[in-house]
Chain A
Amino acid sequence: MNFRQADDISAPTPTALEIKGISKAFGRFPALKQVSLQAKDKEFLALLGPSGSGKTTLLRVLAGLETPDAGEVRFAGEDFLALPVRRRKVGMVFQHYALFRHMTVAQNIAFGLTVRKRAEKPGKAEIADRVAHLLQLVQLEGLDKRYPSQLSGGQRQRVALARALAIEPRMLLLDEPFGALDAQVRRELRRWLRELHDRAGVTTVFVTHDQEEALDLADRVAILKDGELIQLGTPNEVYEHPATPFVFDFLGQACRLPGVVDGGRLRIAGWEGEAPAGAPQGPVEVFFRPDEVAFAPPGGTGLATQVRGVAQRGPDVRIDCHVEGAPMELQAHGPSLPPGVGPGLSVRITPLRPQVYAAA
């Protein structure tokens, strides 16, 4: 394989994939509404969203397996929608891998090479060489004669990846690549996939509903909901500045309280603090992470909180409580409980980094 080296990844990279105003409906159900986004060359882009958000449909549009009703897809400047599936040279890994069940691992990997036109088809020895190289790349040496049914889930996934890489794809598309694996294998493969991407240097788009996976793995994350692109940014950007309450909620655990912004001040019940920059005026929804709070004694400042129960698991503490009358679960980390926290006790809490959205 002549993979390009990825050592120039920090150099200014041109836009590889350009999606403009893609819409797609299945019958009367709109799966995608005017989605536009770009991916840079060699970028690792995650499409993140709950089921029914249209992320898989978008991936299939990129592969050519679905035809959008409207919009444009360009890859390296070329009109991608004008190309049939087989000419796009995208390597796709399906959610359930879709390995050819009647072919061995080696035959599966070689498939994309053996179906080429006579003039472009590599010789037998060359194909065998490439298969051997790919088996080594995905760490499956010695399994070339097995059938898919004789492999574990993780092994199947790696065969699917090797099969997709065999055609030297211009872009790699992964549909829930870890969806069918158990948690342990998933975490191992995640790191490995990222390394593989960096070595192969192929623009990669992957679909997932697991926010941890997307934030952990991708260069940028596109968050979709009901067929619309809600936010696009680096993992840090979307986590630190979620564009909507939906994104805040989807990217992690959320605590929410009603409040009011007046000038530069944020008021929740009897407590008042500085409003975050750019907060909307008037009635708002205040969101904060359950572990981003400061605790103070009952006489101090903050939101009045009654602790109802405490569950400790190693260094993690879950605090079941009522904050200004609203039931909530807070979290704390550390060898000991925050001062003053115990079942039946009252404390005051202050959200450290509240996010404020105009009340619906």
Chain B
Amino acid sequence: MTLLRQGFAGRGPLVRLPGLAPLFLALTLLVLGVLIVLPLGVVFHQAFARGLEAYLEPLKQPDALAAIRLTLVVAAISVPLNAVFGVAAAWAVARFEFRGKSLLVTFIDLPFSMSPVVSGLVWVLLFGAQGWFGPWLQDHGVKIIFATTGLVLATTLVTLPFVARELIPLMQDQGADEEAAALTLGAGGWTTFFRVTLPNIKWALLYGVLLCNARAMGEFGAVSVVSGSVRGLTTTLPLHVEVLYNDYEFVGAFAAASILAGLGLLTLVLKTVLEWRHSGELSASRRH
């Protein structure tokens, strides 16, 4: 992806270092082949090893269906949460000057630089049976850890930076003049937001949401800490894959994995389409 984009978008004439191009190209293709294409092929090969019937069979199991449903539920809650948070954070950072702004930007980035296990563990420390609020929650019959709420919290934390990181550079680049113009023309705050701000960032927002969603559905580390892996109840799709794999149910594991891999490929296609159609309206400093 990155290589292709550089080729099209790169400025200035190409410089060819004699003899090096074939070497670099071969090395890149080799690494891509061994590390990406081959494993991906294996996933689908294993999943379909015993035919379509055998492939679909494990996906019809109640546990598998529950895992798919749970994954969708978790993503359906955490992705909108992060879309709202991302727009609010980007607005705050791009439109206002305040003390501690750079600290805020650093904090938004923290989930990227921190191991996802930590992002799961913090919720256990807060809401687990031995956690700060654990006893109080137990007294009131609220279950967060080993329940959907915990999965949503962990997933939301891990995917926090995606939307905000996409919007901040774009909104800084666009500036506030159009919003100021809308105000002078008599528009109120919300009207300005919905008719000027949002349309200007819609493609970048969609791009951020897409990446956020891919990560939310695929997240393993953070959710595995808070899940407890209760089959059919608290296993999302990635956890379901692990449970099956540990039980030597390889076809089932690979069938579930193929859904995740398919999701990854779909995300890639949509991402490419967005970048190709709306490259001008996405932020220039994209880093995923």
Contact = CB atoms under 8 A, between A and B. Distances in A.
A49 interface: no
**Interface size for chain A: under 10, 10 to 19, 20 to 34, or 35 or more residues?**
20 to 34
A111 B186 CA distance: 9
A112 B195 CA distance: 12
B183 A94 contact: no
A315 to B, nearest CB: 43
Contacts of A111: 182, 185, 187, 195
Contacts of B195: 111, 115
A285 B244 CA distance: 93
**Interface size for chain B: under 10, 10 to 19, 20 to 34, or 35 or more residues?**
10 to 19
A186 interface: no
B247 interface: no
Contacts of B199: 100, 102
Contacts of B184: 63-65, 85-86, 88, 90-92, 164
A20 interface: no
B181 A94 contact: yes
Contact of B180 (A65, A87, A166, A167): A65
Nearest to A114: B195
A204 B195 CA distance: 28
A175 to B, nearest CB: 10
A145 to B, nearest CB: 17
A102 B196 CA distance: 8
B177 A98 contact: yes
Most buried by B among A63, A64, A85, A96: A85
A163 B186 CA distance: 12
Interface string B164-198: 00000000000001101111111110010001100
B186 A100 contact: no
The 10 A-B pairs of least Cβ separation, nearest first, read: A112-B185, A98-B177, A115-B187, A98-B181, A85-B183, A92-B184, A102-B199, A86-B186, A98-B178, A94-B177
20 contacts: A64-B184, A85-B180, A86-B183, A86-B186, A91-B184, A92-B181, A98-B177, A98-B178, A99-B178, A100-B182, A100-B199, A111-B182, A111-B185, A112-B185, A112-B186, A115-B182, A115-B185, A115-B191, A163-B185, A164-B185
Given A87-B186, A167-B185, 10 more contacts: A64-B183, A65-B180, A92-B181, A92-B184, A96-B177, A100-B196, A115-B185, A115-B186, A163-B181, A164-B184
